[in-house]
Structure formats: structure tokens, C-alpha cells
Amino acid sequence: PGVLEVDINASLALDSIGTIRSAITAAVNDKLNITLPGPFDHVMYLLEGCYVDCGWEAYALVDGWVTVYQGDSYAAVGVQVHELGHNFGFGHSGGLDGQAYSDHTGMMGNPLFEDEVGKMCFNAAKNWQVSWYGGVGEGAEPNPYKVKVDPQTNRSSSFELVGIGEFDKNNNQHPVIVKIETGTDKDYFVAFNRAVGPNAENVEADNEVTVVQVEGGNGLSYAQSYLKAHLLAGESYTEDNFANTGEPFSIKAKYIDISTEPATASIDIIFGADLLYCTSDADCLDDNIYCNGVETCDMGTPGVCVSSGDPCQLGSKCIEESQSCTSCDEVTVHLTTDNYAGETSWDIKKDNDGTTIGSGSGFSIGYHTATFSNLQEGTYTFTIYDDWGDGICCSFGDGSYEVTLCGNTLVQGSSFGQSESTQFTIESGSTSLPTTNPTQKPTSTPTKQPI
């Protein structure tokens, strides 16, 4: 990387911007004896001034590698990042007024034109599109940070969000983006616009829940997006005819807590017959779905009827057919590796005979999950191993693991020595709380070289 000055065989005052860009490319290729982009991911072309067609600050090639700037526009961090966003494949971000650039919660509606101001992220739809934060949305493997919900299938759902600005502190793997599937290519994306860290100089809707809709592409390719709402705690965004279904739909910011690190925002997403407006619990009729729990009025703007959720206790699961709670027999292992993923492995064994009912090893760096169902009654032990003896956090990456029983956490951790074990029981009537064995200390572990 560096700065290179070239003379071009084109007129800045007479030729088109395409001709000028091609002339710059040819001059650089000749001077460096390469074919751009060569070894570079992105290349900035800086024109010393504006001589013709001066109604623009900068432009970029979508899904390309080049950005072009006139005059001193290159000095504004927000302009640079906005144009790089086009290289990443992003479209513009419009606001509540329907204008193409007026979403000032993100860089693709960029309002920042200063040299020293630029701590601002992209909006939820753009962040879904790229591989940051656990991978591209709807990737091959489940991603706890990017979650998709289809309201027409799952008519009521709740999430606790963490903002992009505190993603590095998101040890509990809360979602940072929730995609709401519409059945078309014009989906919604919800995020918590936490105004700290890399998003500290955000301009609009600080510490609010934002709702964005794309004009196409399912959030996976170039598309214009529009800010539909930004919500304070207790506020809701409601549509009477969701995705032309004829049924109502609502996103509510249930609460926002910025007193913790990371701060969190809790949201409810409700669709169809479950979305009933109310002023008291008496307005909410039983939906006859036992596993939804009890229907009550969640007072807000407006008040809507909501279900209390799974009525079963830890270690049990809800069976709709029998309208009862029964012993849980499904265990899920969630693993986020450190930078030395190949050192990590785990297994689940049945205590009475040592039978291995599940195991994992040979991981690539990233997030992995595995689920085991229909476990027989008995006591089991989950053990996680690290060949180097230094656990999976934090000197060489922020790894972590969690084991859940029907969605309820049995154990979670990251810092251990060579291994860590947790015992749990599958019973016909109830499931015991986990007991954790003492962690083995590593023996004379030499220092690794970072990668």
C-alpha cells in the first residue's frame, strides 16, 4: 500500500469520467508493471480538482476494487467508507422521507463529510450482506449473530440484541441482526443502533432499535434500502398488511438497557391473529396453543396481546399434541473456536457404560453447532478439550462454548486448561442442574507464536 502519482493520456476537462478512470488504470499498470488490482484489495483514484461534471464528490464500481474522488473529498472518512461500501456490493440507504441518501443511521446514507469524524457503521441490511459478524446472512452453518425469522411460520418471537458497536463484548452470542422474511425479495432487518466504539459518531437514532427494508435482493446483493422506523423502549412499528397477507405485523422495542456492557435491546416480533390490540389482559383471548403459555396485554404504543412463552421448566420440553411438559432429551453444543481451532475437540459420553453419543474435532476457525436428540434416560458427561492446554480464550482469539438442553443453558465457558467437564442427567420427570468438575491445570505450556 502507498501513494503513487501518474500522468494520464486524457483530459480532465474534456473527457468522460469513464475515459479518465481507464487512463489512470493504464498509467498505473504501466508504471508498476502489473494489472490492477494486482496485489491490492482496493485502490483509490484521486483527481486533484474538478474541471467538468462537478456535481459529485466520489464514485465507486459496485462489487469492484476502484473508488474515485474529486478534490479533497478523499479526506472525509465517511466518503471513503461510503464508496468502499459500493465496492462491497452495497446500495444506498434511504430514510423515513423516502430519499435515497437520508438514512443517517449508516454509512450508505452518509451524512459525514469531515476528516476527523467517521465512527459510524453500516445499517442492518448492509451488515447482513457481508461476511462480518459470523458470516454472510443465511450462510451454510447456523450463525447466532445473524438470525432469520419467518413470521408466517413463527408468528411470535422475541430476541435480545447487541449493537455492532459492542460486538467485541458480545460473549453470550446475542444476535446483532434479525432478518424478517417476507416471502419476497423485500425483507426487513432489525438491529440495535448502539452509539459506542466504531459507531460512536452515529448521527441518527442513537441507542434505538432500527427497522430497515430492502427494495430487493433478500439482503444478499446490491439493493437500495430504506429506514422504516427507529424505536425507543416501549415503541412499536406496525403494518396492517404484512407482505400482502392481509394480516397485521408488529416489531416492538420491549426494553433497552444501556447500563450494562454490552448494552442490550429486547424486541418482540408478532404477526397475524397473535397481534391483537388491547388495553388490558381481558382483551386477550386464549390462542389455544398450550406451548405459547398465557396470553396477556403488553402495554405500549400501542398495547398488543402477547404470549408468555414456553410454560415448561428447565430440563423439560413442551409437547403441543398432549398439551404437557415432558423430560427434555435434546442436547445442543455451540462452539466458537479461537485462532487455533484444530486444537479443540469435545465429546458427550453416557456415564454408565462410557458410550460416546456425540463428538466434534478438526474444526475450522469460526462457529460450529451440533444437536443430539432422543437421548435415553441416564447421566451423561460433556467434556471439551484443548490440545495445547490453554483453553479457547483469550490470548489467541475470543473462543467460547455453550451446551443447551432444549434451549436452556447447561454450561458455558471459554477459559480452561486441557479440559473441562460437565455432568447432566436425562430423567423421565425432571432434569438435574449441571455440576461442573474441577478444571485441570495445564502443565508447563510454552508460549505460542500468534498467527
| pLDDT tens per residue across span 28-60 | 999 999 999 999 999 999 998 887 777 788 999
What pLDDT, on a 0 to 100 scale, did the predictor assign at position 28? 95
Cell digits of residue 105: 443511521
What pLDDT, on a 0 to 100 scale, did the predictor assign at position 94? 94
* Strand boundaries in 114-219, DSSP class E: 146-149, 156-161, 177-180, 188-192, 209-214
pLDDT, tens only, 256-265? 999 999 999 9
What pLDDT, on a 0 to 100 scale, did the predictor assign at position 299? 66
pLDDT under 50: residue ranges of the chain: 301, 429-451
Cell digits of residue 109: 446514507
What pLDDT, on a 0 to 100 scale, did the predictor assign at position 397? 82
What pLDDT, on a 0 to 100 scale, did the predictor assign at position 450? 36
The alpha-carbon radius of gyration of the chain (Å, integer) is 26
What pLDDT, on a 0 to 100 scale, did the predictor assign at position 195? 94
What pLDDT, on a 0 to 100 scale, did the predictor assign at position 1? 59
* Sign of the dihedral through C-alpha 76, 77, 78, 82: positive
246, containing H or E segment: none
* Short-list 412, 420, 411, 413, CA closest to 442: 420
Decide if 300 contacts 235 (C-beta within 8 A). yes
What pLDDT, on a 0 to 100 scale, did the predictor assign at position 275? 64
Decide if 392 contacts 412 (C-beta within 8 A). no
| pTM for this entry | 0.65
